[in-house]
Structure 1
Amino acid sequence: MTEVLELFAPYGPGWLGGVLLALILFYFGRQFLEEFKKQNERKADLDVKREERKQAEVAERAQRDRERSQMEGRIAAQMERSNSLMEAMKTLMESVATSNEVLHADLANSQARSQGMAAKVDHICDRVDLLYDKEANN
């Protein structure tokens, strides 16, 4: 230490104080810069993590939107199939109703013909009975 003091002795104590002050400022300045760099790196890391989180949220939202769109598509297709089946059932019911009307008309016609035939058979039975009665009396 004395050697260092002897080096600066010709310049006076002001120079020695100035050099010490410069060394102290250099030491603390370097520590300040290192801490400043660390803070900037931490901020950068936080920014990167925040951006990654945002990207993950965007990707998740896009995935949910795709799934929702697919689900809506399936629902729409199911509704369309359901509507088609309803139309087919409606057509079938109309066909059954028309068929029932035709069968009802045929039944009414058949009943009328049966009544007509029954009247004829009754008439024939009456005639045959009348003939048998005549023959039996003769």
Structure 2
Amino acid sequence: MNDLQRKVIGKLRNKGVGYKAIAQKLGLSVNTVKSHCRRNGLTGNRSGTDAIEVLFCKKCGKKLTQTEGAKQKSFCSDECRLSWWKEHPDKVKRKAYYELICAYCHKAFYSYGNKNRKYCSHECYIADRFGGGLS
């Protein structure tokens, strides 16, 4: 990359042009443009589609302060986060359900988060481990 390209990158970033568009205009790699911008303080959301928006807590509506380079916050505190998720269990994306067969009674059961579970209930575990019939 030459000095002219560096100057053009700076001007375009200050006008709000994104990394990809700059790379295409100058015939450079997107990663080259990103690296140059990081080294020279030209990072941040510059393009119109990536504009920084003011966000508010999902629970209480308090304005959130975002940390640059970190994951975007949705809640102002742990209390708000926990109470919001408690009120909205339908929004939880649970993907770790496993259908298994009980080692004792041989009935199918679902286990969440543990694919190595052997028994459908504590009663089946006790009966299999210490002997005895099903009640």
TM-score by length of 2: 0.19
Q: Which has the higher strand share?
A: 2
Larger gyration radius, structure 1 or structure 2: 1
TM-score by length of 1: 0.18
